[in-house]
Chain A
Amino acid sequence: MSELTTVPKAIGGPSNYLDERLGAGNFLKRNLRKVFPDHWSFLLGEIALYSFVILLLTGTFLTLWFKPSMMEIEYAGSYAPLRGVMMSEAYASSLEISFDVRGGLLMRQMHHWAALLFVAGMTVHALRVFFTGAYRKPRELNWIIGVLLLTLALAEGLTGYSLPDDLLSGAGLRITEGVAISLPLVGTYITFFLFGGEYPGEDVIARFYSLHILLIPGIILALVSAHMVLMWMQKHTQMPGKGRNNHNVVGAPFYPAFMAKAGAYFLFTFAVIAGLATFAQINPIWLFGPYTPADISAGSQPDWYMGFLEGALRIMPSWEINMFGTANAGTLPLSVIIPALVPMGIIMTGLALYPFLEQWVTGDKREHHVADRPRNNPHRTSIGISAITFYGLLWLLGANDEIAANFHVSLNWTTYVGRVLIFVGPALAYLITYRMCLGLQRYDAGVISHGVESGVIKRLPHGEFIEVHTPPADDIEAHVRGKRPVLMLPVDDDSSGIPPKGMRGPLGKLRGLMSKAYGGEKIPLDDGHGDGDGHAAIGEGSDDHTLTR
């Protein structure tokens, strides 16, 4: 087929019509060839975006049959082992979707898998942004939107998980109630208002339903749109590399290449979710039975994204205090309040504040459009890994009964060990990560000053064997040289020993200390041997530098 020379009528006509009314041509002129940098990790956020789209599609399908009612009825559907059992309409209609609607089970399973991948996608995307410093100015606001989205996703997951009203989701609901009622002062009010009276009442499913299908997804949709618009306006960050700097963006044009790639990735996400829903059974509610507050099953667990809260609740010692004597109000169930609020608070608040804390410590108010390699900001990377360890341990301990049952260890010991590890683990992770980052920086310095190992062994005239190093390829060198030192506040005292302004009070002193530790160049790229000890490693007495060229 020959190539196009003009815009075909079928497109030109409608486009003309729209342009005359919307003036879209100007926008398209600037944006059709908008350049998007290419890196696999830049697609991670799209997992969450596309999962959300799939959640909307499959969720809409499910609403066509689901009945958000807690009215008790006798089951008379297709699933034989439950026939004749009293259950809520919500549970009965979830069974109907599973066994009496063609494709219903597939859609239910896709919805649930998509939900798991939605939060997982957001998590890995947030980690990518964190470790590459892509939250720095001017992207702090988009980062905050992201943190809000993550929080909303947890709420969306919690409300959705409760809807089928099976025994497992009911256990989650009961724990939610137990946590809500434990809050000081307002606890009973919150539960009575949420459940329409005493737990479980007859309203909570309908209320969660409207939150789950209308309010929360509405806010998520708005925030996702804002997230996209900001990303579009600010242009994506790029990895350091050849020809890339803070004032440009290098990559492929939106039309046609990036558009096609994004479309393909949507289809991949869709296919993976459909594949999981085909081959891996998720949330088999028919096995759980209908909810009653009188029953519970072994291995009652939340979905993975709530696992860290579950773990925190499990390792907590039994602390409870009565603030104002025995007969009065003032009961503080610390064994519920602390695990329910503190880990979540640390993680979400920590995420939200990190860009601002980092700015406060480094004094870096510049715009950043080139991503950091994680090793090049060792303290940030260590803090991140430390937080992952903290979260990961809690998550793991949320499954300690399954671990105990399947690996034949004592349940009690998993708790004892967990109580220690939750403090020791993150600290160890910090130290190890920090050392690894410096080691990698040293390696980078080595690549720049000596080149890369060529695998060729040479014998020098005096008998010594050495390995010949060759200079790194252009693009690798450019990638490594993209390193920029972390800014540091002017912390040193002036000649008369007076600390600079803003570092004088106790807080100021702390800020100065932190800035000194956090900022600065730990391993300069061009000092030859990377912190001085590289020399010995390469060969006593030989001037290997000359051998590289």
Chain B
Amino acid sequence: MTDNEHEIEQPDERVPKRVIGTPAPGTSLLGEAEPADEDVEVPGVTLQDEQKARKAERIVALCFFVTFLAAVAFIISYVFFQVGSPESTGVSNLALGGTLTLALLGLAVGIVVWVRQIMPKYSLVQERHPMVSPADDREYVADTFVRGANESGFVKRKLLRRTLLLAAAPLGLVPLVLLRDLDNSKMPGARFNKTLRHTVWGEKTKDGKPLKLVVEGTGQPIRAADFNSPGGILSVVPEGYEHDLNALAKATLILIKFRPEEIKSGVNQNWTHDGIVAYSKICTHVGCPAALYEQTTHHILCPCHQSTFDAADGAKVIFGPAARPLPQLPIAVDSEGYLVAQGDFKVPPGPSYWERGDAEAEARAKGGQA
């Protein structure tokens, strides 16, 4: 409700409380105006001292002139400074940003001085009216609504009303149905769990061999004999999937070399080779790569939310919000001495989800360690 409604009802109350300092209601603002009578003292409007105003005008003018110069300098800088290297881009950024800032500041300061020292000081009073509409209006609206509802026949004609509702219901679903293909795989929801559990470590190469572990960033396969410094780690990805982000989001590993005596009972020894253990790098909390490894304590720390896992003891959680250990990948060496995957993780890597279930307990029940 704008003040408009009030005006229609009580034209005299609306504006007519003539705000001090505003033109009289009769004055046309858009056409001819009556001569300004600036000498008349209006309450609430205190004119500035002309002497001071004249001084202020000079300051304002100076500010505006600064803006003019800065804006010109901006255009010149644009033409003059090229970008490319961090150095040249830095110079360009400084020149363009500096001149733009100065131009805007000049204008801002100028206007503030103008308002504060040239325009009059105002303390005008305007009346407020309660927001609620007058009782008459409300009654009229209510009556009109009832009359319209009856005239339309919507109330009386049941068939019309019900079929309209019937028509609207499926129409409302249309946009929702249209969103179904947001999932490009179009797989039924029942298969989500199976998909999430599966990683490419369960795949074989074209000639039917298990996937090699390769170094992230170089793609080199890893000879177990080369990865021989205790306290060493490597970030490892599956052979052939080095740039497949979907595969990496579940299959990236952290490969750790231990002295044999350091390994505790939490680690499944059958899945290791010569003190080399592979864990999923994807944190079981919300999926950041948990990759900060301290070789003295064997702690793996996730930098996002500081879940800490004991790598020497099956990567069980010793601190932070993650609830489950990092899954261990069964690894072995092939005939040439390269590290390969024995198969997929036995439990789903990465963050938990509703359909997951307690896969660790399940795996234990089946006999293997998780």
Contacts and interface: CB of A to CB of B under 8 A. Distances in A.
A171 interface: yes
Given A253-B22, A293-B245, A98 B356 contact: no
B337 interface: no
Nearest to A336: B286
Interface residues of B, number: 111
B260 interface: no
Interface string A313-337: 1101111101001111111110110
Contact of A295 (B3, B81, B289): B289
Contacts, number: 350
B248 A335 contact: no
A294 B248 contact: yes
A263 B112 CA distance: 9
Contacts of A318: 307, 317, 320-323
A249 interface: yes
A336 B237 CA distance: 27
A255 B193 CA distance: 64
Contacts of B352: 181-182, 320, 331, 333, 336
Contacts of B250: 198
Contacts of A181: 351-353
A422 B95 CA distance: 46
Given A278-B97, A293-B249, A271 B105 contact: yes
Nearest to B249: A293
Contacts of A298: 292, 303
A102 B323 contact: no
B128 A247 contact: yes
Nearest to B237: A294
B317 A411 contact: no
B252 interface: yes
Interface size, A (range): 35 or more
Given A33-B19, A193-B179, A318-B323, A267 B286 contact: no
A187 B29 contact: no
A464 interface: no
Given A174-B288, A267-B108, A300-B304, A182 B351 contact: yes
A196 B182 contact: yes
Interface in B81-97: 81-86, 89, 92-94, 96-97
B287 A174 contact: yes
B362 interface: yes
A64 to B, nearest CB: 16
B196 interface: yes
Contacts of A104: 83
B58 interface: no
A5 B27 CA distance: 13
B221 to A, nearest CB: 17
Given A102-B92, A270-B104, A188 B31 contact: no
Nearest to A18: B30
Nearest to A78: B84
B30 A16 contact: yes
A7 to B, nearest CB: 6
Contacts of A291: 245
B15 A30 contact: yes
Contacts of B189: 188-189
B124 A336 contact: no
Contact of B182 (A98, A194, A299): A194
B78 to A, nearest CB: 6
Given A174-B286, A175-B286, A200 B354 contact: no
B303 A257 contact: no
Interface string A67-107: 00000100000111000001000000000001111111110
Interface string A259-282: 011011101101100110111000
A430 to B, nearest CB: 27
Nearest to B112: A264
A267 B111 contact: yes
A29 interface: yes
A62 interface: no
Given A243-B125, A252-B122, A326-B365, A296 B291 contact: yes
7 contacts: A12-B31, A188-B354, A193-B183, A194-B182, A264-B107, A274-B101, A330-B357
Interface of A: 3-7, 12, 15-16, 19, 25, 28-30, 32-35, 72, 78-80, 86, 98-106, 109, 138, 171, 174-175, 177-179, 181-189, 192-194, 196-201, 203, 233-235, 243, 246-253, 256-257, 260-261, 263-265, 267-268, 270-271, 274-275, 277-279, 286, 291-300, 310, 313-314, 316-320, 322, 325-333, 335-336, 339, 367, 369, 400-401, 411-412, 415
Interface of B: 1-3, 7, 14-15, 19, 21-22, 25, 28-33, 35-36, 38, 78, 81-86, 89, 92-94, 96-98, 100-101, 104-105, 107-109, 111-112, 114-115, 119-120, 122-128, 130-131, 179, 182-185, 187, 189, 192-193, 195-196, 216, 235, 237, 243, 245-246, 248-250, 252, 281-282, 285-289, 291-292, 302-307, 317, 319-324, 350-359, 361-362, 365
